[in-house]
Structure 1
C-alpha cells in the first residue's frame, strides 16, 4: 500500500473492525475543554494542545491568538488529508506531495444571532492524473469523518486545484 498514513484505525478499517450492522467501534476518543469568554483557552487532556483564544479583528476582537474557526479549518484539513491518503493508498497512489487547504467562513443572516459555517476544501494532487485525482477527492469527501459530520448541515465546497 502506498499510503503515507497508518495507525490502529487504518488497520482496523482494512480488517473490517469498523462499522457493520451493529454500529461503530470507538477507536479513539479526544477530549478538549474551553474556558473563558470571547478570549479564553482551549486545551486537551494530555496538554499537547493548550492555546489562547481571541476573537479575530474582523469580528471586533483583539486578534493576536487563534480562534475556533482556525481550529476547525486546521482539523478538517488534517482529517481530509488523512482520508485522502487512505483512499489513494488503497489504489496504490502516492500522496506524499499532496496537500489539503480548507477555508472556514463564519456567516450571519440578518440582524439576529443566526450564524452558520461555510467551508471550502481544496485538494492539491500535483503528480496525479487530474481525472484520477478528482475521483480520489470525491471518495475522500465521502469517507472523511468531518465531511460526514457536516453533510446536510454546512455548505461544503470541494475543489481540485
Structure 2
C-alpha cells in the first residue's frame, strides 16, 4: 500500500472529494481573473461584528527565562493530519472535513478553509492558556470567551501572502486590571502566540 493510501485508509471511500483548496480561489488571486459572474475587483472586507470590536492591544511579551529558546523541550503530544483531494483529516479520524476556497477568494465556499481552522485552533489554544494562568492565581474564568480572526493578506501582485490574527478576550466578573494581567500572561505563554511572534520550528520534507 502506498504512503498516501496508508494515510487515508481510515477515510470512507464513497465520499466524493471536494475541489482542492488550491483551485479557484488561489488561481483567482494569482491571475486576477475571478470566476464568471464575480466582479474582478477585490471584494470589500465585511464589517467586523460588534462583538469583535478591537480590544486593548498587547505588545509582544517579554520572554521569561524558563522559555529560553536555547533550552531543550520534551515532546508531550504530536498531532498528525493530511491534506489531499480537497479534504483534511487527522490520523485518528476525529477530524475529517472538506476544505474549499471561500467566496471572497473566488471559490465556491460551502466548506471550511485553512483560515477558519487556524482561527478555531488559536482561539482554543489561547483559551486553554488563559485557564491555566488564571487557575494558578485562583481566578475563576468559567465565563471567559476568546474570539479570533485570521485574515489572509497579500502584498502587490507577486505571490506574497501572509496572515494577520486578532484576538478578543472577555473575562466577565474579573476586575479590569486583573483581566489585563491575565490576558497578557496568557499571550506570553500560549504556544500559538509565541509561534507567531517568535517563530516556530518548521521542517518540510519531500516524501
Do the two structures share a fold, i.e. TM-score over 0.5? yes
Partner in structure 2 of residue 32 of structure 1: 81
Which aligned runs of 4 or more in structure 1 are off by greater than 3 angstroms? Answer: 18-22
Greater Cα radius of gyration, structure 1 or 2: 2
Structure 1: gaps of 5 or more residues: 1-17, 154-161
Q: Per the alignment, in what secondary structure is the counterpart of residue 92 of structure 1?
A: coil
Q: CA deviation at 1:95?
A: 1.1
Instruction: State TM-score, norm by structure 1.
Output: 0.79
In 2, the alpha carbon distance for the partners of 1:152 and 1:23 equals: 16
Q: Which runs of 5+ in 2 are unaligned?
A: 1-65, 200-207
Greater mean deviation of Cα atoms: 68-77 or 18-27: 18-27
Aligned pairs (5 A) from 1:12-51: 22-36=71-85, 40-51=86-97
Alpha-carbon distance in 1 for matches of 2:149, 2:75: 29
The residue that corresponds to 1:107 in the other structure is 153
Is the aligned partner of 1:90 residue 2:136?
Answer: yes
Cα contact 1:74–1:102 (8 A) shared by 2: yes
CA distance in structure 2 between the aligned counterparts of 1:102 and 1:152, rounded to whole angstroms: 19
- Where 1:151 maps in the other structure, the secondary structure is helix
Paired with 1:28 and 1:152, the residues of 2 have a C-alpha distance of 21
Query: How far apart are the structure 1 equivalents of 2:124 and 2:135?
Result: 16
Give me the whole-angstrom Cα distance separating, in 2, the residues matched to 1:75 and 1:146. 9
Which residue number in structure 2 is paired with residue 7 of structure 1? none
Greater strand share, structure number: 1
- RMSD after superposition: 1.6
